Amino acid sequence: MKLSLLDLSPVATGRAPSQALRDTVDVARACDTLGYTRFWVAEHHGMANIAASAPEVLVAHIAAVTSRLRVGTGGIMLPNHNPLRLVEIFRALAALHPGRIDLGVGRAPGTDPLTASALQRDGQDDPNARLAEMLAFDQAGFPEGHPFRDITPMPADVHLPDVWMLGSTLTGAQLAAELGLRYAFAGHFAMRHAQAALTWYRTHFVPSARLPEAHAMLAVTVVCGETDAHAERLAAPIKLGVVRIRTGRRAAFATIEEALAYRYTPQEEAIADDFLRGAVIGGPERVREGLERLLATSGADELMLSTLLPDPEDRLASHRRVATAVGLVA
């Protein structure tokens, strides 16, 4: 089983956001020997409970303190970035860490409309155009007469690392298939659409120089406790955190005790149920069986685990239990 990790740098009550970033680095360093394939970090802005806003910086730092994991972005949000700068940044990362960098890109801004307006000042608001321009810069693909044709991004002797199209709807699957890119579906918050998107991607995939055959990854929320009951207890802050995010209440992740004491309205229960659809939460045996079943039924080539536990020790313990349960480590 090929498993990877997505870390969002969750901010716990009473814990500084800057510490959440350092926690992510510490978790990545500890996971370098656990048999996981990739360790990805995200891009979110203006969120009180998610500290990860500069994934390119985190990738550089994590790659420098690990030796085996592939380190990547899940993802770089295209509306917020200049395509040429992305090529320069990720070529530099690929040169410094050969064979260990992934570039996952998404089409959403990763924030609310007001913050997005502060991030996007160049008048270019089409993420598909940004993606096409980024690939053209990397592959010297501008047509004759294009004003950017003679620009050579440095370092010129390397190319972008593996590019993954991220998505939570069919649109991302369509782009990945059309452009011959790797595809990662955000099942950790949109599992209801996963099967349709992955099927579309495989059915319509067009081989490219970058990728001769389709390759898909499915993200899933996972919490592995000592027992099933322990896992449910650990996951309580995730449920409340999601409800707060989606109802516009800015707050760090609650403690387990606060989350367990919270009383949800029917509407809030529906929000939480939608987010946790397909989540694998339980003791080691339940998690192993759940991951095996998801891999078999989804058609994904690999799974990426999102374990949004605000306590880094709980997060790392869950990763270790999973790694042992599925045989990544003895």
Per-residue pLDDT tens digits for 40-94: 999 999 889 999 999 999 999 999 999 999 999 998 999 999 999 999 999 999 9
Which DSSP letter does residue 80 get? G
| CA–CA gap between residue 165 and residue 107 (Å, rounded) | 9
CB of 110 within 8 A of CB of 80? Answer: yes
DSSP string across 266-288: HHHHHHHHHHHTT-EEESHHHHH
Q: Domains of the chain: which residue ranges?
A: 3-325
pTM of the model: 0.94
Q: For residue range 132-171, what is the model confidence (pLDDT) as tens digits?
A: 999 999 999 999 999 999 999 999 999 999 999 999 999 9
Q: Which positions of the chain have pLDDT values less than 70?
A: 121-125
Give the up-direction half-sphere exposure of residue 83: CA atoms within 13 A in the CB hemisphere: 20
Instruction: Give CA 3 to chain center in angstroms.
Output: 13
Reply yes or no on domain 3-325 having CATH 3.20.20.30.
yes
CB of 307 within 8 A of CB of 39? Answer: no
